[in-house]
Amino acid sequence: MLMCSLVGVGGLCRDIGYPPGAAVLSTLMIWAAPAQMVLFGSIAAGVALPAIAAAVSLSSIRFVPMCMSILPLVRRPGTPTWLLLLIAHFVAVTAWVEGMRRLPDMPQHARIPYYLGFANTVMLAAAFATGAGYFLIAELPPPLAAGLLFTSPVFFTLSLMAGARRALDWLAIGLGFAAAPLAARLVPAGLDLLVGGLGAGTLAYLAHRLRARGGGRPA
């Protein structure tokens, strides 16, 4: 499903007249399909490069909480800073969801090799799909090409649901869906996912804590 979403990114790069190498490089360097769409869409619209850089950065701020939650799982005493920065670059939806689901059950020494191996495999598959999409998108019907981009949020949602184990997890997912349209209306573009996600997650956590303090059974 991740590869399907990157096919559309490759097609967008082709539409603005950039070479296939630019499409593949965007996947390896940015590693976020929405940010790549912002990049190529802004280039097509003639936006100034500093503004494009700012927009891409804002669209990727949502990864900051993901890094903050997964890096403590892989950090060991003596882990060099450069290695943690490298791991942070690979933090994306797929790698983060699978990492949060599998790393806690692994011995500490096996977590970094597993995470980097998994993340590199996913990234290389996505880069291949981006390059393939560059050449294939012209042969696909427009509705199908647009639908391929939609597979990314669907995959993320299904992955979160597969990893949900407690009532708290389901509450956070539900509040996130409810907060998304409100945040899209009230928060500047690029920050709506971050604000909506943090707000919904915080509300779910506070509800969990209040229930625990009130003598209810912890979720």
| 41-77: pLDDT as tens digits | 778 877 788 878 887 887 777 788 889 989 999 998 8
Tell me the one-letter amino acid at 137: I
pLDDT of residue 201: 82
Q: What percent of the chain clears pLDDT 90, i.e. is strictly above it?
A: 23
Quick one: 207 exposed, middle or buried, by C-beta within 10 A (0-12, 13-18, 19+)? middle
Chosen domain end from 124, 144, 163? 163
Q: Which domain holds residue 64?
A: 2-163
Same domain assignment for residues 146 and 169: no
Q: 147 and 214 share a domain?
A: no
pLDDT digits (tens, 9 = 90+) for 193-217: 667 777 888 888 888 888 777 665 5
| Same domain (yes/no): 127, 177 | no
User: 11 and 92 share a domain?
Assistant: yes
Tell me the pLDDT tens digit for each residue of 173-199.
888 888 888 887 887 765 676 677 778
What pLDDT, on a 0 to 100 scale, did the predictor assign at position 65? 85
DSSP string for 32-60: -HHHHHHHHHHHHTT--HHHHHHHHHHHT
For the question of whether the overall pTM of this predicted structure is more than 0.85, the answer is no
Based on the fold, state whether residues 56 and 102 are members of the same structural domain: yes
Please report the pLDDT score of residue 158 as a whole number: 72
Verify that 151 and 212 share a domain, yes or no. no
Residues 149, 60 share a domain? yes
Q: Which residues contact 193 (CB under 8 A, 6 or more apart)?
A: 62, 180, 183
List pLDDT tens digits, range 117-157. 999 999 999 999 999 888 887 677 777 766 776 776 676 67
Does one domain contain both 31 and 132? yes
Query: Average pLDDT over the chain, rounded to whole?
Result: 82
**Residues above pLDDT 70, as percent of the chain:** 87
pLDDT at residue 209, as a whole number = 82
The tally of domains found in the chain comes to 2
Tell me what pLDDT residue 156 has.
66
156 and 49 share one domain: yes
Highest average pLDDT, of 39-43, 94-98, 167-171, comes from: 94-98
